[in-house]
Amino acid sequence: MFKKLVIVVVSASLLFGCNSVLLGRYGEQNQTLEAFTQRVENVFKFQNSMTNAVMLMETEPSSMILDAEQKMQSVCEPLNEYASREMDGLSTDFTLQKRVEKTAISCEKAAQKLQTLLLSAH
């Protein structure tokens, strides 16, 4: 699913003349296509695991944890929207594809912050 995401993002970027794509680099960290594809896939899985961890907490989550989870959901919204549309067989537009490319690292950082809070809560 996410390999298709990267291919679509790259194809659209080529059509619009994105310099990073012309140089063979993708995402915020100018990664190779293979590295970027793997990173986006891993970020999606990681942020979903953090959402599950909050839902499965044995005690009521603190306001800090809830705030961090809400921020993560907001930052990861483009990635989640893309995945949802992909699973439903719906098309995605260029704007959404570019938002995914631009926010994958921010999504990962928000999930890492939530993970830190969850680990300190135990």
pLDDT, tens digit, 9 for 90 and up, residues 68-109: 999 999 999 999 998 899 889 998 888 988 898 899 999 999
Measure the CA–CA gap between 106 and 86, rounded to whole angstroms.
21
Band (20; pLDDT cuts 50, 70, 90): very low
Higher-confidence residue of 101 and 13: namely: 101
Of 52, 44, 113, 46, residue with least CA distance to 80: 44
Band (113; pLDDT cuts 50, 70, 90): very high
User: What per-residue confidence (pLDDT) applies to 19?
Assistant: 42
Average pLDDT, the chain: 82
User: What per-residue confidence (pLDDT) applies to 32?
Assistant: 82
Higher-confidence residue of 49 and 86: namely: 49
Band (21; pLDDT cuts 50, 70, 90): very low
Higher-confidence residue of 36 and 72: namely: 72
